[in-house]
């Protein structure tokens, strides 16, 4: 097992599902070249604007994002690292589920749940399986 990868996986355990989903959504919006504004984040996560505002404060306090008053959010280095790891888990799990013939919509929904609760050992085994079956 790759020790660096295990350390990164353990980093995920210090955050709630909602916090992980939030930074993952920011990264996805950023990759789509969309502004990281409250309205777009709320739509992406299917939550209210006040919920985005509240989570934004939590993530600022945790050093995962920055935000100027009434401006767009921005991932910090730590926030980006977390978001990239969550998104990586999401992508690997979805690829695995698709490889065993799970319908795409179900695979998308399931991997969004699994990515937060799967053990490091199981994830690494799935990741290895996916890499070996490309």
Residue 124 pLDDT > 70, yes or no? yes
How many independent structural domains does the chain possess? 1
Q: Which of 118, 70, 126 is nearest to 99 (CA)?
A: 126
pLDDT, tens digit, 9 for 90 and up, residues 13-39: 689 999 999 999 999 999 999 999 999
Domain ranges, residue 52: 3-132
With bands split at pLDDT 50, 70 and 90, how would you rate the model's confidence at 1? very low
Which helix (H) or strand (E) segment holds residue 57: the answer is helix 49-61
What is the domain-level CATH number for residue 57? 1.10.10.10
- What span, in angstroms and rounded, lies between the C-alpha atoms of 5 and 27? 20
Residue whose tokens read 């979805």: 94
With bands split at pLDDT 50, 70 and 90, how would you rate the model's confidence at 134? confident
């Amino acid at each position: 097992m790759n020790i660096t990868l295990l350390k990164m996986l353990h980093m995920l355990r210090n955050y709630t599902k909602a916090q992980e989903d939030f930074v993952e959504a920011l990264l996805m919006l950023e990759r789509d070249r969309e502004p990281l504004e409250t309205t777009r984040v709320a739509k992406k996560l299917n939550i209210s604007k006040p919920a985005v505002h509240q989570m934004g404060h939590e993530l600022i306090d945790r050093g995962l994002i920055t935000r100027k008053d009434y401006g767009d959010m921005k991932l910090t280095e730590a926030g980006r690292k977390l978001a990239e790891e969550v998104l990586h888990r999401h992508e690997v799990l979805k690829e695995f589920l698709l490889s065993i013939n799970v319908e795409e919509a179900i695979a998308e929904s399931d991997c969004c749940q699994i990515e937060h609760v799967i053990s490091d050992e199981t994830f690494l085994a799935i990741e290895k399986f996916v890499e070996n079956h490309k």
